[in-house]
Structure 1
Amino acid sequence: MDMRTRELYRSSNGDEWFLATEAGSERVHVLHRANISSGGRESRIGIGDFLGRGASGPEHQELLRLIATLV
């Protein structure tokens, strides 16, 4: 499946967060890729759920900064 992504944040431990959407879909989500030592798993999180988890982390702040550039 083709997915378009834009990197939001990469932590010093290797975790990565992306704003992502699948080709042909208008649904946007946050894609989290855990670092290799944590298993390297990917998880998809709805934007509302992601921000609802406490928008104090740098990955949350970067998403909010990106959203602010749109207005």
Structure 2
Amino acid sequence: MSRIVTVMPNERELYASPNGDRWHLVRAPGGNDVFVRHTANEASGGNVVDFAIPVFLGLGRHGPEHQELWRLIGTLIDQQP
């Protein structure tokens, strides 16, 4: 069975793995809270887990999902005011 993933306007996909796992950067509706949401692939049950950014980044720096978040953070520094 194929699962349709809807990305809300307050979400940005960080990474989609070849096995179907997905990571999104999410802003909570009506608030300033931002976190990382991991959605497991169907074979793993499709579970969704939300991580505070410090926890997510503390889990590792070598995964492509971590590298993408670090890249996005870096773009904030590269922007000229």
Report the TM range for the smaller structure's normalisation. Answer: over 0.9
Runs of 5+ unmatched residues, structure 1: none
Q: TM-score normalized by structure 1? A: 0.93
Give CA deviations for 1:47-69 in whole Å, capped at 9, x if unaligned. 00001011110000000001111
Runs of 5+ unmatched residues, structure 2: 1-7
Q: Which residue of 1 aligns with 2:11?
A: 5
Q: Which residue of 2 aligns with 1:62?
A: 68
Query: Quick check: 1:3–1:22 contact (8 Å CA) kept in 2?
Result: no
Runs of 4+ in 1 over 2 A off after TM superposition: none
* Residue correspondences, number: 70
Residue 28 (str. 1) matches residue 29 (str. 2) = no
The one of the two structures with greater contact order (alpha-carbon pairs below 8 A, sep at least 6) is 1
CA shift at 1:39, angstroms? 0.5
% of aligned pairs identical?
51
RMSD over aligned Cα, in angstroms?
1.3
Structure whose CA Rg is larger: 2
